[in-house]
Amino acid sequence: MRTLRILAVIIAIAVVSSSAAFGQSRTVAITVDDAPYAAGPYPHDEYVAHAGRAKSDNARLLRAFKAHQAPVTAFVVQGNVELLGPAGTAILKNWIKQGFDLGNHTYSHPDINNLSIEQIEDEILRGGSGIGPLMQEAGRTTRFFRFPMDHTGDTQAKHDALVAFLAQHGYQSALCTIDSSDYIFNAAYVKMLAKKDAPNEEKLRDDYLAYTRVEIDYYAGLNKQVFGYEPPEVMVLHDNRLNADMVEQVLAIFEQKNYKFVSLETAQSDPAYQTPDTDVTRFGPTWGYRWALERGVKVKGSLETEPPKWVSDYAMPYSESPE
C-alpha cells in the first residue's frame, strides 16, 4: 500500500514536471533599445535634466529582469551616454555588473536611409567606442549590433556593404520579431505624467498591456505560418519610463503564455535566424515579414493591429518619428 502511494507520488511529480517542461517550450529573448535612456520624448536640455530619472528607471528594469531570470541585451546609443554624463556610464556599468549584455545601437541613432555607407560605418564604429572598453573591463565582448528603426539598407550597395562591415568588425546583426510600439505609448505617457493626467495614465497602462498581448500572439502566429513551428522570439522594448513602470507585467504576460526567457545569442542560434536577409527596403519590417518574403510565404500585414488611435493622437507629433 505504502509502495503504491509512493509510486503515485512519483508519477504525479513526473506528470507535473513534464507538463511544465512542455508548457515552457516557447522561448523569447528580451532586448531593450535606446539605452541608457530613450531621448525621444524630451527636448535636449530636458533630457539631460532627466539623468536621475534615467538611473532609477534603469534600476527598476534591472530588478525586474533579475527577478524573472531574463538574460536581457541592451542596445546603447553612445551619444546619449555622453549627454547624460557620469549617470550614463554608471547605468551601463550596472547592466554589465549584474550580468546583462550590451550591444551597439550606433552613436547618434540616425536614420541610415539618409546617410552614405561611410557615414553609417562611422556611426557603427563610434557607437561601439564606449561600450567596447566597458565590456572588455568585465572580460566580455560586444557581439551584437542593431540598426536604428531596423533600417538595414535602402539600396543594394548599402545593404551588402553593411553586412560585410558588421562581419568584419565581429558584430552579429540583432534581429527582432515582436514589436509592441512601446515608444508611441511612452511618448503619450510622458506627456500625461507632465500634465498629471492620472485617469489617462491608468487607461494607457491597461491599453499598453492589452496591445502587448495582441502583438505577441500576432507575431507568434506569423512566424509559425512562415516556418511551421514557433522559432524563439526576440522582443524589442525601449529603455523608458513606461517600461520601468510596466516591465513586471510585461514579463508576466510572457510567462502566462508559457515563454521561457533566453539570451539573444540562444534565440538567434535557431535555424530560422539563418534565413538569408536579402530585403532591400527603406522601411524596418520585423523579421517575420522578411522571412515570409524569403520563403515565398504569403502573409497579410494588414491583419496586424495598430496601437489605439487615442494613444497615437495623444503622442503626436512625436509618434511620427520612429525609434
Q: Which residues bind Zn ion (CB under 5 A)?
A: 33-34, 148, 323
Contact (CB, 8 A) for 143 and 103: yes
In the complex with Zn ion, which residue's Cβ is closer, 75 or 261?
Answer: 75
Contact (CB, 8 A) for 30 and 70: yes
Beta strand 101-104 with 178-179 is unpaired
Radius of gyration of the chain measured on its C-alpha atoms: 21
User: In angstroms, what is the minimal distance from the CB of 109 to Zn ion?
Assistant: 6
User: In angstroms, what is the minimal distance from the CB of 105 to Zn ion?
Assistant: 6
User: In angstroms, what is the minimal distance from the CB of 323 to Zn ion?
Assistant: 4
The grid cell for 97 is: 555588473
> How far is residue 111's CA from residue 113's CA, in Å, rounded to a whole number?
5
In the complex with Zn ion, which residue's Cβ is closer, 27 or 104?
Answer: 104
Of 172, 88, 171, 74, the residue nearest 125 (C-alpha)? 171
CA-based angle 200:247:187, to the nearest 5?
A: 45
In the complex with Zn ion, which residue's Cβ is closer, 111 or 197?
Answer: 111
Q: Which residues of 114-152 are buried (b: 16+ CB within 10 A; e: fewer)?
A: ebebeebbebbeebbebbbebbeeeeeebbbbbbbbbbb
User: In angstroms, what is the minimal distance from the CB of 9 to Zn ion?
Assistant: 51
Give the phi and the psi of residue 60 in degrees, each rounded to 5. -70, -40
Containing H/E element for 211? helix 198-227
In the complex with Zn ion, which residue's Cβ is closer, 17 or 119?
Answer: 119
User: In angstroms, what is the minimal distance from the CB of 34 to Zn ion?
Assistant: 5
Residue type for position 53: R
In the complex with Zn ion, which residue's Cβ is closer, 148 or 308?
Answer: 148
Closest residue by beta carbon to Zn ion: 33
Give the burial class of 62: count Cβ atoms within 10 A of its Cβ; 0-12 exposed, 13-18 middle, 19 or more buried: buried
Tally of residues, the chain: 323
In the complex with Zn ion, which residue's Cβ is closer, 176 or 292?
Answer: 176
User: In angstroms, what is the minimal distance from the CB of 101 to Zn ion?
Assistant: 16
In the complex with Zn ion, which residue's Cβ is closer, 57 or 323?
Answer: 323
In the complex with Zn ion, which residue's Cβ is closer, 103 or 148?
Answer: 148
User: In angstroms, what is the minimal distance from the CB of 67 to Zn ion?
Assistant: 25
Of 105, 53, 95, 35, the residue nearest 71 (C-alpha)? 95
**Residue 180 to residues 128, 197, 277, 308, Cα–Cα distance (Å):** 27, 23, 22, 12
User: In angstroms, what is the minimal distance from the CB of 69 to Zn ion?
Assistant: 25
In the complex with Zn ion, which residue's Cβ is closer, 34 or 123?
Answer: 34
